[in-house]
Amino acid sequence: MWTFIHKMGSPPWFFRFSGVVVQWLLPITIGLLLVGAAWGLLVAPPDFRQGNSYRIIYIHVPAAVVALAGYYVMAFAGAVSLIWRIKMADVTMRAAAPVGAVLTAVALITGAIWGKPTWGTWWVWDARITSMLILLFLYLGVVALFEAYENKTAAARACAVLSLVGTVNIPIIYKSVDWWYSLHQPASIKFTGESAIDSSMLYPLLLMIAAFYCLFALTVLLNMRAELVWNHREANWLQQLVRKV
C-alpha cells in the first residue's frame, strides 16, 4: 500500500500507470454517459407536475454533485502538497480546478434554464444558488492565483491554502436548503430512508452521477498527463517514451 502511494509520487511511474487507467476509463465513461442519458431522456417517465422539463436533472444533479466532491479532491491534494511537499499533489490540485469550475458552471447554467419555466425566474439570490456561485469563484480563484505567481512553488502553496479555506463552503452548499428558507428544493436523493424521487427516475440519475464521477476522474487524469509532459519535456524518461511510440 505504502509503496503504491510512494510510486504515485514519481512522474514516470504515474505517467505509465495513468495511461493504463485512461485506456480503461475512457470507454467506461462514454458507455455510462450514453446509457445514462438514453435511459434518462428516452426511457424514464415524465414528471407528474413538470412534464419533460425535469429531465435536465440528469445533467444538473450529477454536475453539482461531482463539483462538490471534486472540491474535496482539490483541497485534499492541496493539504498533501502543503504537508508532504509532493510535486504530484500540486499537479493534481491544478488539474482538478478547471474541471471543477466547468462542472459548477454547468450546474448553475442548467439550474437557470430549469428555473425559468419552473420557478418563473432565471436567478434568485437564495442560499443554495449563492453558495454555488461562491464555489465557482473559488475554483476560478485557484486557477487565477496559480497564474498570478512567477514562482510556481509559491503559487502551489497559495492555491493549497485558498482551496483549504474554501472547504467550509462545501457543507454550506450541501445543507443550505435545510438550514435556511431557500427557493431551491431540498435534496430528492436521501442516504437514509426512501428517496423523494421515484425509482424509475432515480436509477438513471444514479447512473449519470457515476458517469460524471468517471468523467471527472478521466479529465483530471488527462489534465495531469498534459501537465507532466510539459513539466518534464526535457526529461530522459519522457523522451525515451516518445521515441518508442
Q: Note the residues at the interface with other proteins (CB under 8 A).
A: 45-50, 54, 57, 79, 82-84, 117-121, 124-127, 161, 164-165, 167-169, 172, 179-183, 185-188, 196-198, 200-201
Torsion 174-180-186-192 (CA) sign = positive
Minimum distance between the CB of residue 53 and other proteins, rounded to whole angstroms?
9
CB of 132 to other proteins, least distance (A): 14
Please tell me the distance from the alpha carbon of residue 164 to that of residue 175, in angstroms, as a whole number. 19
Using the structure block, give the residue that is written with the C-alpha cell 526535457: 234
- Of 37 and 222, the one with the shorter C-beta distance to other proteins is 37
Written as one letter, the residue type at 84 is W
8 Å CB contact between 183 and 176: no
Q: Which is nearer to other proteins, 10 or 118 (CB)?
A: 118
Minimum Å distance from CB 78 to other proteins? 9
Q: Sign of the C-alpha dihedral, residues 157, 139, 6, 230? A: negative
Nearest approach, Cβ of residue 116 and other proteins (Å): 9
Nearer to other proteins, 37 or 134 (CB): 134
On whether the CB atoms of residues 207 and 32 are closer than 8 A, the answer is yes
Q: 3-class SS at 47?
A: strand
CB of 26 to other proteins, least distance (A): 31
In the complex with other proteins, which residue's Cβ is closer, 50 or 231? 50
Closest distance between other proteins and the C-beta of residue 123, in Å?
11
One DSSP character per residue, 72-107 reads HHHHHHHHHHHHH--HHHHHHHHHHHHHHHHHHHHH
Report the amino acid identity of residue 55: R
What is the CB neighbour count within 10 angstroms for residue 23?
9
Q: Given the complex with other proteins, which of 76 and 213 has the nearer CB atom?
A: 76
67 vs 97: CA distance, rounded Å: 10
Q: Which residue lies nearer to other proteins by CB, 26 or 177? A: 177
Q: CB of residue 29 vs other proteins: minimum separation in angstroms?
A: 26
Whichever of 76 and 237 has its CB closer to other proteins, that residue is 76
Distance CA 161, CA 238 (A): 31
